Amino acid sequence: MKILITLANPNKQSFCKAIAETAAKTLEKKGCLVIFHDLYKEKFLPVLPKGEDKRTAKLPAIIKEHCKEIREADGIIIVHPNWWGMPPAILKGWIDRVIRVGVAYKFLEGDKGDGVPVGLLKAKTAIVFNTSNTKPAREKKTFKDPLETIWKNCVFGLCGVKDFYRKTYGVIVTSTLRQRKSWLKDVERIVNMKFRS
């Protein structure tokens, strides 16, 4: 089983990084092939250049590589902090450049792009792990949990990934070492539950 992990957090000691590394180790123990991208470490360029959104665009080698990896992945894990109810800009740029027509979705014949796309991703399961400094009850009541809508409905739902799971850990800023260890055990449990070999 081939699993793509994409991490987006600029802090090298972030809890997001610990989550991503825990997920990778858990999958490797199961014999999975893990493709790991730390977008900040790799200095991924998030700005979509003019014309690159076209299906016929000539893509840079790095974008071709990312597209091939997501197309071939059996599962996908995304890890990022909740910033203003959104992913970090670098991850939004990754979506813009990699979750693209002809790779992650297509339009039916005769559709000029105004219809509902058909998902193309091979992955059956996607997990999104978030960190947050907002209490879960407030996130749901006040903000209506925009990250759930973005990832479940606007990205993976439209790209054909049927099994979607998201978990947020927090409040990070006041968390103890004991809590964080417990959360990493939970990451391991979720990964094992969702990716059975």
Domain ranges of the chain: 2-194
pLDDT band at 93 (very low <50, low <70, confident <90, very high): very high
Q: Is the pLDDT of residue 115 over 90?
A: no
Q: 39 vs 31, 78, 90, 136, 153, CA distance in Å?
A: 24, 11, 7, 27, 23
Q: Is 45 exposed, middle or buried (0-12, 13-18, 19+ CB in 10 A)?
A: middle
Q: What is the mean pLDDT of the chain?
A: 95
Q: Which CATH superfamily is domain 2-194 in?
A: Flavodoxin domain (3.40.50.360)
pLDDT digits over 2-42, tens only?
999 999 999 999 999 999 999 999 999 999 999 999 999 99
Position 148 scores a pLDDT of 93
Token pair 């989550």 in the structure block, residue = 19
Global confidence as pTM: 0.95
Higher pLDDT, 180 or 137: 180
Q: Under a CB-based contact definition with an 8 Å cutoff, are residues 42 and 90 in contact?
A: no
**Mean pLDDT (whole number) for 156-171:** 96
Query: What is the number of other CB atoms lying within 10 angstroms of the CB of residue 4?
Result: 22
Percent of the chain with pLDDT over 90: 86
pLDDT digits over 38-80, tens only?
999 999 999 999 999 988 899 999 999 999 999 999 999 999 9
Q: Is the pLDDT of residue 111 over 80?
A: no
Higher pLDDT, 117 or 131: 131
